[in-house]
Structure 1
Amino acid sequence: MREKKIGILCLQEMHLTEEHENQINTLYSRRLRVINSRDRECPGSLAGVAFELAVLNIYTPNNPAEHHNFWTTIKDSETSRNNQQIDLLLGDFNLTEDPLDRAPTRTDNEAATDALRDLRETLNVHDSWRKTHPTSPCTSAIPTDHHMILVRYTPLNMPHIGKGRWSWPLGLVNNEKLLNKMSKLGQMTQRKIETNQQPGGLNPQSEWEDFKIKIRQEAKKTSKEHMYKINTRINQLENDIKLTLRNDDIDTNSNTRSQKAWLESEINHMEKKTIQEPSASIKSEMECRQGKPLASTGVR
């Protein structure tokens, strides 16, 4: 969430128990708050959604026969509240309104689709993707639809927020080339301080400040080079995806759809190169706080 600058993250099928939820909230208490709804009869094993913006985060039953009543119930519930306009409607709907969102293209259950459209119109929300790209395919079955979708929400009265303070990119923590430069700069600074300790000599605090400025400059330079290569590769892969979607057989040829899925996995792989996940340190911190091993939550 920090790397992607995500303010609100809505997830489905989290399978969180109350213990897991409390562990996450304890670990990230200063930066993150988890709000989770779970199945009352079987907590942690079935559908659950976890995220003041009015967000309606939905996980729809897998059984299409239940969809119409599900959407109708939500509509009645939201209509009866009648106290706050929904800003965002999102989640895993297990159906699509537009056949273009399926590969191969097909129409979902008509009663369920009508019920979803009726709810959407009642809440006065629209399909942002389809409105922006009315004719572009957004296939969700090639072979998995479990992709993170990013949306930027910008209210008109939102105050200006700057870039914030620069921080060391996690992806460079183990960069050997950069670490060697830092080591040499540190050794040079230490020698200068040790050889100028007489009165009127160099100010150690000034040398220390100069050292920090230099390693920050080196980190920014290395990060720029590192990110340029990654972003160039990502742009190439995204262009390949656009070309793949233009193929006439995207709806019928499994190889073409598999090619798109592979390109997407390559993009995910490249993006992960920019982030180092400190899973070991997080687990250690959690164990120290609670005095016991971290439960198997799937959180890294």
Structure 2
Amino acid sequence: MREDKIAILSAQETHVDMDKLNRISKQFEKQLLIYNSADPTSLNGKGVSIILNKKYTHWKDATFTDIVPGRALMLQLPWGDRGTLNCLAVYAPNDPGENACFWKSLTTRWRKNCLPNLDIVLGYFNIVEDSLDRHPARADPNAAVEALQEFKTLSLLSDGWR
């Protein structure tokens, strides 16, 4: 992050317990702020982290919200003249049915709680919207893809890869 001047980094499948997280945070406390969302039902279980480079961000003013523990973590960060940058880091389930339910639950939560429009959603989605994004090409189940697309529509997000 220092050498490449990366301001915000997201990590999925972190499998970090509190002791390990505290050791890593202490080791890099001058350079990085590390916030981890872990699955509370399993020790050293699935998780998602957002790491801020203290040199390039207003890290002291960052707000983190556990949307789905171990699966979805929101960052609200002051970002220059544009105001607040709203990011969501996700680690979506691998099972297609669970994946569709995950995106649908996020959509419901955003609508019900009037959560802010997102500028960036990053992470490991465990699906692709277009079969050409896989090699060899294969389509993911429509229910999961449509649920992801509906969630993206809430914030008028588009695929940055494309």
Structure-1-length-normalised TM-score = 0.42
Give the corresponding residue for 2:17.
17
| RMSD after superposition | 1.2
Larger RCO (CA within 8 A; separation ≥ 6): 2
- After TM superposition, the structure 1 = structure 2 runs for residues 1-300 of structure 1, keeping only pairs within 5 Å, are 1-45=1-45, 47-51=46-50, 52=77, 53-130=85-162
- Identity percentage of aligned residues: 36
Give the corresponding residue for 2:69.
none
Please identify runs of 4+ aligned residues in structure 1 that moved more than 6 A: none
Q: 1: CA distance between counterparts of 2:9 and 2:108?
A: 26
Which amino acid is the alignment partner of residue 11 of structure 1?
Answer: A
- Which sections of structure 1, spanning at least 5 residues, go unmatched? 131-300
Per-residue CA shift, 1:181-204, capped at 9, x if unaligned? xxxxxxxxxxxxxxxxxxxxxxxx
Q: 2: CA distance between counterparts of 1:80 and 1:2?
A: 39
Structure-2-length-normalised TM-score = 0.75
8 Å CA contact 2:117, 2:154 repeated in 1:
no
Q: Which has the higher helix share?
A: 1
Which amino acid is the alignment partner of residue 22 of structure 1?
Answer: N
Aligned length: 129
SS of the residue 1:9 aligns to: strand
Per-residue CA shift, 1:214-271, capped at 9, x if unaligned? xxxxxxxxxxxxxxxxxxxxxxxxxxxxxxxxxxxxxxxxxxxxxxxxxxxxxxxxxx
Give the corresponding residue for 2:55.
none
